[in-house]
Every structure is written in structure tokens, then in C-alpha cells.
């Protein structure tokens, strides 16, 4: 990855960020640079002479015992003391990983408003359009441990820390707008059921096991969420290509003292896209860090990820106007009834300097809000407000908020004192009230800008129950499944079939086969047939047939076709067509995509007609065995008689083509490569070019005869483009060629 990132872009990134970002400037105070000018020291500042050899008794003929010298009894720190310190430090480097969301990646960025929400809130971060608020965003999987793979089927965390002028605001969200449970009391159970089964601690980072699906069946409230979990939403192509949701219902309060309920939304500029399941399975082994690499690569290349920020707002007077409870975290707010109002933009534009001190030690709490933003009575949110703060103490200690990544950029002043690893040195009184009237609260000093809780009137009886609307669990699951496209529904069926096939207890997969009939009879029958359950004969509940906007991810395509940040593999062997190669490579880069040269070897590959003298060829980024088609978005094979002869005899090169076809990716070829691609796919339905005309067939774009004027390095991407690159790039921009799967072509190719 690093080999294709220019130093110029890195320098440009630093210039863009500069010191205007208050959080980056603050972090710089705690950052040290390891370079050739730095001298190694102990943690206590003493320069070190030798860090490779333990102090020991020895002579020229033999090695004697190592010395554990007493550091207390010595006035001078010795090499032996340092080596003990080095081992001690190594032994204590690990901290407890997160109970959930342990596997993650993050980046710094900026939040901007382009429309004030002052009509519903007085929060500065949501009303001041002149601000640029620093943020840190951490993406994650939920169930897996810190060392698990990125591409497993799982919900993705989408947690943002806004470093506002009024304090830190943490929005601890997911890439799915609902959750498995309604009440935080059930959180330990849903996580215990999803984690590896306790006897032998497997499977890792998977929901395909008995305990998980046993819990889902026994908790009907989870039905809506597990349909989302079985959709393509849980195998995203990239963190940059998934939505973010606040999940819970929060509140906003304006200057008039009016309160509104709110849901938060983030919609990616690049659209919402996913892997295909076979691809996700393979990537988990081939490149377990696929998503974190993808994020870092995009930022390093200047293709900064962006999301539109939107709010769904509901006045208090309309709280009970719907057939669902707006405080139920297992329900969405349909956009037809409560539209999303897009008012801002989030951009990520800087990678962390060190993973542990920033991405690992960042700590999010749903309870961290700023004036103008508050909490509803959402029973899941109420429990999260306790749990998140509590778990940070276990991971990081009571003073975790003083770690650089967690510190606000505004002043912090209170009477909290002491505790392990306290950093701040506080002078003056340590209590309130005090005779000096030092550090008064706002109700005493009359200072403006304090957080004031909304005066909510509460009536009821203390009991363990929820409102009646919380008891309806199937309507929105039906709404979600009904709203999916045909290809998405097929993927949901296949996902259930995979998951339940891994359940060993018949009661689990048989009961789940029946539960699915509460949502869609055809779905239930298809899954039951695959997993060995008894196929239901009638629907458990009638399907209402309704659909809703914004539930199918195919609705979220970029506003304009783009291949920005997409990886395009160019496969070559000795004797490749230099014209086609260089033109396509330049065009890919000009479109802000990433050309990746894949060769039969990683040493120089020479074009047709060139002498095999060092410097006359191209050094690939990877060779065919070291990289796989799963790691790119599209493939181009230039012609060249000798190159194609070599590739035609290479089983891995053929596998690249077949696998990309099976994974529904764009494939293109020119010259002699046309027949190579056609023969490798070996499906008569696919037609290819036989002359200088461009042929596009199920996402396979070919041009047999290449003239210099046939290719150009600047391309306008449009649906009805006539040129070779116009058509190839448009197919890439559509993410996948779904027609291959719908017409059952992808299943005819072995990959």
C-alpha cells in the first residue's frame, strides 16, 4: 500500500490540517518523533548504551548467568537495570480489550454544518455554520476479539467523538439503525449468546452457532435486527461505504425551551456498498486487515471519506402519533413519516499517529453530550449511559478522560481528584462551596452556556415493564424484507442458510425455520429446505406488504458515477501491450482510483518489443500469488501476444478472472486478452468484441482491435458512454454486476 502513496500527498495532507485543527494541535503536545536525531533513553531519561545484551558474568570462553541487579541499592542506573525495566514494561503492555467492539480502526477529521438547526436546538455544534469541529471516528466489529478479521459478518460500530467548544460530544452508533434488544438489561445476554460458546471458545467473530440463534428465537424483539444482520449491511465493502446511525432516540432543546426527539444519520458520499459473501469469507484469511488498510490507504491518497449528516426531528407533541414507540431501539422511524433533514458533512482526513494511544485508548460514552442535546427515555439508551462510562474505568483507569485522545479541547475545571495515573496538577481548593468561591458552578456564578436538564414531567408506576407498543416485534421486520431488491432478498436467504447450517442442535435451526415464516413464507421455506428444518406450510403472521424508503442499500448510490478510491488491477506478463497498459493506468489514476499492477512476478515485467534490460520494464505492486482478486474492485488485462500466452498457461491468472466474474466485478480486456478472458470464463452467454468496436456483456468490457485514438486518459463516466474506458469505468462505478447473479451466470463459473 505504502509504495503507491506519494510523499507529495502526505505533505499536502499535513498542510491541509495544519495547526488550525485544535485537537491535532493539542495532541502534538504529547507526541514525540522517533528519528535519527533522537537518543534512546530509559523511561526516566537516562541515555542507554546497549539494549541488545543483558548484563551478565562472562569471559571469552563461556557465557555466565545474567545479573538481576538491585535498582534500589544502586545510585546509578545501569544497563542491567534498564534491561529489567524493558522486560517489565513488555510484560505489562496489554490492557483489557473492549468487551464488545474490540476490533477497530479510526481516523481524525472535521465536522461542518451547512445549515443551522437553531430551530430545534441551541447546541453550538449543530447551529454555528462557521465552525469546523475536530472529530475522531472509530469503526469496529462487535463480536470479535481485537485480533479477529475485518470482513466477518457482523454489525459495524460507527462511534464519533466531537471535540466541541462546549465539551466532548460522543455519538456511539452503528452502521445499522436498530438493535437486537429494547432494554439494556438484556445486553449481557445478547452479547454472551453471540460471543464464542463458553465451553471451547469458538466460533470466533461469528454469529453462525447455536447460542446466538437460540437467543434470537427466544427474543422476538430481535427479529427486526437479525434481518438487518443477515443482509449485505453486515459485510460492507469499506468503512467508507457504509452508513452511520445514532441508533437510540436522543433529544434536542432550543432557546425557547422546546424539546424535540431526534435520530442521527450519516450517509456516505461514495454510496452504500458491500462485499459478496464468498469474497468476505476469503478476505478474512487472505487479508484480515482489509478494512483498516482500505481506510488508511484512502486517507493517505487524499481520497478523504465523507458523509452527509442528517437528523430526523419530531416535536414532543407527536411522540404517540405512530403505531410503534419512538423510544424503541428495535424500530426505525420511516422516512415517509419523519423525513431526514441533511444539515452537515463529516470528513475524515488524517490517519492516527499511533494505534494504541489513539484508536485503542479512545473511549466513548453515550452520556457525553453538550448543551442543547439530551436523552430520551429510550430504555436501551438509559442503560448504555451507565455501561459505557463504567467499562472505560476497567480498561483505562479512573482518569481515562485525561488521556490525550480523550481530552476535550475546551477548558476542564472541577473538584475531581486523585486516582491512579492522575495527570492534572490542580491548585487551590478541592471542594465546593469554598470560602474563596473558586471554580463555582453556573447556578452560582450566573455564567452562560451551562448544561441544563430539560424539565420533563414524569408520571407512572414503578414496575418492570414497558409501554404496550414495545410488544409488537414483527411489523418492521416485514417492512425491511419487503423493501429489499430481488438480489438483496436472495442474499438474505443465503445468509440464513449459511448461519443455520452451522447450528448443530436441531431444535435451533428447526425453530428458526418456523420463525422466519412470521416474516415471509417463501423465505422460510427456502431456508428450511437448505438447512434441514421442517418447511412451514403457512405464514405465521400475515405480511402487510408495505415497503419503506431508505431500507434497501441499493438506493444509496453516489449522486454522480465515480470510481474514486476503487482498486483496479492491471494484470501483465512479459510482452504486454505498453500502449493499452499506460493509457488505462493513467486514466484510472486520473479518475482518482488506484491502479494496482499485478504481474507473474514482482520483479520487472517488460513490454512487447523492449529489451529485458533493467529499467525498461515495470515493477508490479504484487505478483499473482501474493495478491488476489478479492482485494480489488475491477480487473483490466491489456493485450500483447507473449503476455497472453503466459497468462493462458497460468492457473492463478485464470483464477483471478473467474473469481472476479463470480464476485460480480467489472472485467475488461483489449487485444489478445479478449479471447483469454472469454475462454477463461467459458460461458456462451458472454459476448466479446471481434474488432475495434467496444462490447459490454454482463460487465465484461472488451475491444479486440486497439488504435491509439481508441483509448484516452481522461474519461467522463456516464451510463451511455460509447468508448472503452467510459463503459469500463461505468461498470466499476455501479459496484457489482448484479445481472450475472440474477441470471445465474456467476454460479456457472468455478472459483
Domain boundaries 567-748, CATH class = alpha beta
The span from the CA of 403 to the CA of 358, in Å, is: 9
Domains 480-555 and 567-748 fall in the same CATH topology: no
Percent of the chain with pLDDT over 70: 95
pLDDT over 80 at 732, yes or no = yes
The yes-or-no verdict on residue 560 having pLDDT over 80 is yes
- CATH code assigned to 480-555: 1.20.1370.20
Residues 6+ apart with CB under 8 A from 250: 261, 262, 263, 264, 369, 373, 374, 375, 376, 381
Residue 14 — very low, low, confident or very high, per pLDDT cuts 50/70/90? very low
pLDDT reported for residue 61: 84
Mean pLDDT of the chain, nearest integer: 93
Residue 637 has pLDDT above 50, yes or no: yes
Where does the pLDDT of residue 19 fall: very low under 50, low under 70, confident under 90, or very high at 90 and above?
A: very low
Position 81 scores a pLDDT of: 56
**Predicted confidence band of residue 707 (pLDDT cuts 50, 70, 90):** confident
pLDDT at 7: 42
Mean pLDDT computed over 237-258: 98
The per-residue pLDDT for 84 is 65
CA 556 to chain centre: 17
Residue 48 has pLDDT above 90, yes or no: no
Could you give the residue numbers annotated as active site?
Answer: 101, 174
- Using the predicted structure, report yes or no on whether residue 603 has a pLDDT greater than 90: yes
Q: Is 650 exposed, middle or buried (0-12, 13-18, 19+ CB in 10 A)?
A: middle
Number of other CB atoms surrounding residue 66 within 10 Å = 15
- Across the range 529-552, mean pLDDT stands at 97
Q: Is the pLDDT of residue 709 over 90?
A: no
Could you count the other beta carbons within 10 Å of the beta carbon of residue 141? 24
Domain 104-186+231-402 has CATH 2.40.180.10: yes
User: Is 50 exceeded by the pLDDT of residue 74?
Assistant: no
For the packed helices 673-681 and 651-662, what is the interaxial angle rounded to 10 degrees?
70
Count Cα neighbours of 85 within 13 Å in the Cβ-side half-sphere.
Answer: 17
For the cut 50, the answer to whether the pLDDT of residue 6 exceeds it is no
| 367 confidence band (pLDDT: 50, 70, 90) | very high
- pLDDT bucket at 17, cuts 50 / 70 / 90: very low
Mean pLDDT computed over 118-136: 98
Q: Tens digits of per-residue pLDDT, 434-451?
A: 999 999 999 888 888 999
DSSP letter at 96 equals P
Give domain limits for the chain.
Answer: 2-91, 104-186+231-402, 480-555, 567-748
User: How much is the pLDDT for 20?
Assistant: 52
Q: What is the pLDDT of residues 459-509, one digit of tens each?
A: 888 889 888 999 999 999 999 999 999 999 999 999 999 999 999 999 999
Instruction: Take residue 524 and report the three cell numbers written for it.
Output: 422460510
Region 565-586: mean pLDDT is 98
Say if residue 730 carries a ligand binding annotation. no
Amino acid at each position: 500500500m505504502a509504495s503507491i502513496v506519494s510523499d507529495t500527498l502526505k505533505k499536502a495532507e499535513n498542510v491541509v490540517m495544519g495547526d488550525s485543527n485544535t485537537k491535532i494541535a493539542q495532541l502534538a503536545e504529547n507526541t514525540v518523533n522517533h528519528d535519527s536525531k533522537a537518543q534512546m533513553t530509559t523511561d526516566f531519561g537516562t541515555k542507554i548504551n546497549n539494549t541488545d545484551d543483558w548484563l551478565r558474568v562472562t569471559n571469552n570462553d563461556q557465557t555466565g548467568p545474567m545479573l538481576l541487579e538491585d535498582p534500589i541499592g544502586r545510585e546509578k542506573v545501569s544497563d542491567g537495570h534498564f534491561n529489567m525495566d524493558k522486560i517489565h514494561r513488555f510484560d505489562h503492555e496489554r490492557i483489557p480489550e473492549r468487551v464488545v467492539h474490540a476490533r477497530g480502526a479510526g481516523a481524525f477529521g472535521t465536522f461542518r454544518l451547512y445549515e443551522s438547526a437553531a430551530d430545534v436546538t441551541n447546541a453550538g455544534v449543530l447551529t454555528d455554520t462557521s465552525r469546523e469541529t475536530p472529530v475522531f471516528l472509530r469503526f469496529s466489529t462487535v463480536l470479535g476479539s481485537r485480533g479477529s478479521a475485518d470482513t466477518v459478518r457482523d454489525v459495524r460500530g460507527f462511534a464519533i467523538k466531537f471535540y466541541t467548544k462546549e465539551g466532548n460530544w460522543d455519538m456511539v452508533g452503528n452502521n445499522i439503525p436498530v438493535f437486537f434488544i429494547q432494554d439494556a438489561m438484556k445486553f449481557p445476554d445478547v452479547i454472551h449468546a453471540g460471543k464464542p460458546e463458553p465451553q471451547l471458545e469458538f466460533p470466533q467473530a461469528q454469529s453462525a452457532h447455536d447460542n446466538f440463534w437460540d437467543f434470537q428465537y427466544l427474543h422476538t424483539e430481535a427479529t427486526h435486527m437479525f434481518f438487518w444482520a443477515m443482509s449485505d449491511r453486515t459485510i460492507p465493502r469499506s468503512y467508507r461505504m457504509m452508513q452511520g446511525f445514532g441508533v437510540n432516540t436522543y433529544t434536542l432543546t432550543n432557546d425557547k425551551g422546546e424539546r424535540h426527539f431526534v435520530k442521527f444519520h450519516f450517509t456516505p458520499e461514495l454510496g452504500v456498498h458491500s462485499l459478496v459473501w464468498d469474497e468476505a469469507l476469503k478476505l478474512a484469511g487472505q487479508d484480515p486487515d482489509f478494512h483498516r488498510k482500505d481506510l488508511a490507504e484512502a486517507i493517505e491518497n487524499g481520497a478523504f471519506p465523507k458523509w452527509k449528516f442528517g437528523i430526523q426531528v419530531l416535536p414532543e407533541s407527536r411522540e404517540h402519533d405512530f403505531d410503534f414507540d419512538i423510544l424503541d431501539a428495535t424500530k426505525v422511524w420511516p422516512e415517509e413519516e419523519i423525513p431526514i433533514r441533511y444539515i452537515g458533512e463529516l470528513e475524515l482526513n488524517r490517519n492516527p499517529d499511533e494505534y494504541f494511544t489513539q484508536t485503542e485508548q479512545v473511549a466513548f460514552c453515550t452520556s457525553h453530550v453538550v448543551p442543547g442535546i439530551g436523552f430520551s427515555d429510550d430504555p436501551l439508551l438509559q442503560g448504555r449511559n451507565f455501561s459505557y462510562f463504567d467499562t472505560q474505568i476497567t480498561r483505562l483507569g479512573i482518569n481515562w478522560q485525561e488521556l490525550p485522545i480523550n481530552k476535550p479541547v475546551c477548558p476542564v475545571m472541577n473538584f475531581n481528584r486523585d486516582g491512579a495515573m492522575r495527570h492534572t496538577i490542580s491548585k487551590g481548593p478541592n471542594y465546593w462551596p469554598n470560602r474563596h468561591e473558586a471554580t463555582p458552578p453556573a447556578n452560582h456564578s450566573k455564567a452562560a452556556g451551562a448544561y441544563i436538564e430539560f424539565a420533563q414531567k414524569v408520571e407512572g408506576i414503578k414496575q418492570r415493564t414497558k409501554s404496550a407498543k414495545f410488544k409488537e416485534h414483527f411489523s418492521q421486520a416485514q417492512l425491511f424484507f419487503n423493501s429489499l431488491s430481488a438480489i438483496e432478498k436472495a442474499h438474505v436467504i443465503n445468509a440464513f442458510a449459511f448461519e443455520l447450517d452451522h447450528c448443530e442442535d436441531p431444535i435451533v435451526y428447526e425453530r428458526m425455520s418456523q420463525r422466519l415464516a412470521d416474516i415471509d413464507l417463501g423465505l422460510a421455506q427456502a431456508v428450511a429446505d437448505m438447512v434441514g428444518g421442517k418447511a412451514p406450510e403457512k405464514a405465521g403472521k400475515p405480511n402487510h406488504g408495505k415497503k419503506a424508503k431508505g431500507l434497501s442499500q441499493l438506493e444509496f448510490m453516489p449522486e454522480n458515477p465515480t470510481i474514486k478510491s476503487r482498486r483496479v488491477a492491471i494484470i501483465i506478463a512479459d510482452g504486454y501491450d505498453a500502449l493499452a497498459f499506460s493509457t488505462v493506468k493513467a486514466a484510472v489514476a486520473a479518475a482518482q482510483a488506484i491502479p494496482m499492477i499485478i504481474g507473474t512476478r514482482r520483479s520487472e515485467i517488460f513490454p512487447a518489443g523492449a529489451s529485458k534490460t533493467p529499467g525498461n520494464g515495470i515493477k508490479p505492486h504484487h505478483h499473482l500469488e501474493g495478491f488476489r482478486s478479492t482485494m480489488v474492485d475491477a480487473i483490466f488485462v491489456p493485450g500483447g501476444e507473449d503476455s497472453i500466452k503466459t497468462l493462458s498457461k497460468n492457473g492463478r491468472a485464470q483464477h483471478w478472472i473467474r473469481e472476479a466474474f463470480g464476485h460480480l466485478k467489472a472485467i475488461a480486456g483489449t487485444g489478445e486478452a479478449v479471447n483469454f478472458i472469454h475462454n477463461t470464463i467459458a460461458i456462451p452467454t458472454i459476448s466479446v468484441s471481434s474488432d475495434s468496436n467496444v462490447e459490454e456483456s454482463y460487465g465484461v468490457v472488451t475491444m479486440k482491435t486497439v488504435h491509439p485514438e481508441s483509448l484516452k486518459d481522461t474519461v467522463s463516466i456516464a451510463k451511455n458512454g460509447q468508448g472503452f474506458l467510459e463503459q469500463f469505468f461505468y461498470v466499476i462505478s455501479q459496484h457489482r454486476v448484479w445481472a450475472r447473479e440474477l441470471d445465474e451466470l456467476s454460479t456457472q463459473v468455478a472459483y
